[in-house]
A and B are shown apart, each in its own frame.
Chain A
Amino acid sequence: MTASITVEGLEVVFDRFRALKGVSLEVSEGESYGLVGESGSGKSTLLRAITGLAPVSAGTVTVNGKTLGKTRDKAFYREVQMVFQDPYGSLHPRQTVDRLLQEPLAIHGIADGEKRIERALDEVGLGKGFRFRYAHQLSGGQRQRVAIARALILEPSILLLDEPTSALDASVQAEVLNLLEEVRRRRKLTFLMVSHDLAIITHMCERLMVMQNGEAVETLTASQLIGHRVSEDYTRNLLRASEGFVRA
């Protein structure tokens, strides 16, 4: 198995605040890897650092065998795409779905746009009827489907998912999670998924890393977590919290 993403000693500093303090991880090709933690744990910052949206001050990121420098080139974005947390904020308010999907194709000069857009919309279960709608004419779940279609249209091999369902209702969340699993299987994608919800991560991922205050707490397989075979107290706390309220 070859590594798809390798992160070594990654540090991110925002205005003297160390958001990420030397984190390392390795995601194999075709694997689904989860990052779990509470707010301020640095899990989203890690995703953003990989994409070049957060300033990296130390450490290296290697994607498909290529070690990345300070800037990302166009070829990188054809390999790695991201789905954001808030479907209400990640779609341009003045653009139709059609325009949103056309933009990546135009940037990369891809010719068979018509076909790709139709296929992408079909793939996320929206179909042609949604092509000319504006974001405000879509529900939260539909918006997130559009965001997924936009990420898939460049046919990347790696998808970064930043809490893709935390802004959605539970029933819609199930639909979106199923969709993500389906496209992953069909396209043999590598996932790096961030969530605060242990249940979602164990459902979606084979391996996961628990993070706290910008550091890795421990790395586990999903089955270790399910079997409560964890070594850190923090992880145990998270597990207990995810079981709901227990009256003393």
Chain B
Amino acid sequence: MTASVVLSRREWLLSDRPASRLQARLGRAYVAWRRFSANRLALIGMLIIIALLVVAAFADVLTPYSPTVGDLKNARLLPPGAAHWFGTDDLGRDIYSRVVYGARWTLYVVILVAIIAAPIGLLVGTIAGYAGGWTDTILMRITDIFLAFPKLVLALAFVAALGPGIENAVLAIAITSWPPYARIARAETLTVRNSDYIKAVQLMGASPFRIVLRHIMPLCISSLIIRVTLDMAGIILTAAGLGFLGLGAQPPLPEWGAMIASGRRFILDQWWVAAAPGAAILIVSLGFNLLGDGLRDALDPRSGDQ
């Protein structure tokens, strides 16, 4: 009984003759999901990211201790054990609690950077690609200037100018990470701008703005999502790097990079202080990378009949 209901729902989604806008959209999403879920590593990546979201959301419930207030008298640099799963740091704070709260800051950084950098890149790239001529030259030369500097060095310069702090670190990373997105968006735009379906919209009398926004951008978005997801690991590492150098999150914020920086002093005798946030960075970066690879297979417009 249930089996037949499930089957018919599947048929409804895969139907070649959708009867409503909703069915068409869901069907398309379902095909992408089937492609994505066929890749086991991508599913693992997604599980890691979901776990990160859950941990960040329920940090209060998941942690037995405060992430910022330690027990200096009794609990300095304790090794991992039953009371403190990942041990404690030099200020007597529970490292497990700090790593869990650190998930929030990591997400904060990653999401903010993505929200700021991706739209800038998308806009610059599609406008440059569609308009061509002078607009293209000017926009792309600006992009080249940003690309000419190593990302971390440029971010360092920005943070140094803006002053240390996690918000400024986010801003600096965002400013340095949009140029590759602009390049991707421009390349995609160039491949579609001369296609007949864009010409057909031009012949409807659509304004250039409308064409870029409603017809070209949707085609660039999937490759951009893929790229941003793959870049997430890099963003986390840059944020950690800035934190490590003391230019990102300021104490006592439990940011993973800053935690490694403070654990550096005891790395030979109390390895766990740096190891726990290091492992967290590793796992989350890996998760984003696997997810990005899976999305590439599922969303790539060039693959198959999509």
Contacts and interface: CB of A to CB of B under 8 A. Distances in A.
Interface stretch (A12-20, A84-92, A180-188, A206-214): A84-92
A23 to B, nearest CB: 21
B16 interface: yes
Nearest to B23: A132
Given A74-B205, A103-B206, A136-B305, A84 B21 contact: no
A41 interface: no
A90 B204 contact: no
Interface in B174-232: 195-197, 199-206, 210, 214-215, 218-219
B17 interface: yes
B205 A107 contact: yes
A81 B197 contact: no
B116 interface: no
B24 A86 contact: no
B24 A107 contact: no
B2 interface: no
Contact of B301 (A78, A93, A96, A129): A93
Interface residues of B, number: 28
Contacts of B301: 93-94
Most chain A C-beta atoms within 10 Å of own C-beta, residue among B19, B196, B305: B196
Interface string B234-270: 0000000000000000000000000000000000000
Contact of B219 (A94, A107, A136, A150): A94
Given A74-B205, A93-B301, A133 B200 contact: no
A51 interface: yes
Contacts of B305: 136
A147 B200 contact: yes
Contacts of A86: 196
A84 B200 contact: yes
B20 interface: yes
A129 B17 contact: yes
Contact of B205 (A77, A82, A94, A147): A77
B206 A134 contact: no
A199 interface: no
Interface string A196-211: 0000000000000000
Contacts of A154: 204
B14 to A, nearest CB: 11
Given A103-B204, A107-B205, A107-B206, A132 B196 contact: no
Given A98-B21, A133-B24, A89 B201 contact: no
B12 to A, nearest CB: 13
Contacts of A89: 195-197
A66 interface: no
Interface string A118-137: 00000000000110111011
A81 B203 contact: yes
A22 interface: no
Contacts of B203: 51, 53, 77, 81-82
Interface string B279-306: 0000000000000000000000100011
A108 interface: yes
B40 interface: no
A92 B58 CA distance: 43
Contact of B24 (A84, A90, A132, A147): A132
Nearest to A73: B205
Contact of B204 (A53, A77, A84, A85): A77
B9 interface: no
Interface string A151-169: 0001000000000000000
Contact of B202 (A53, A78, A93, A129): A53
Contact of A132 (B21, B202, B205, B219): B21
A133 B17 contact: yes
A159 to B, nearest CB: 11
Nearest to A138: B16
13 contacts: A51-B203, A53-B202, A72-B205, A76-B205, A77-B204, A85-B196, A90-B197, A90-B200, A93-B197, A93-B301, A94-B301, A104-B204, A129-B19
Interface of A: 51, 53, 72-74, 76-78, 81-82, 84-86, 89-94, 96, 98, 103-104, 107-108, 129-130, 132-134, 136-137, 147, 150, 154
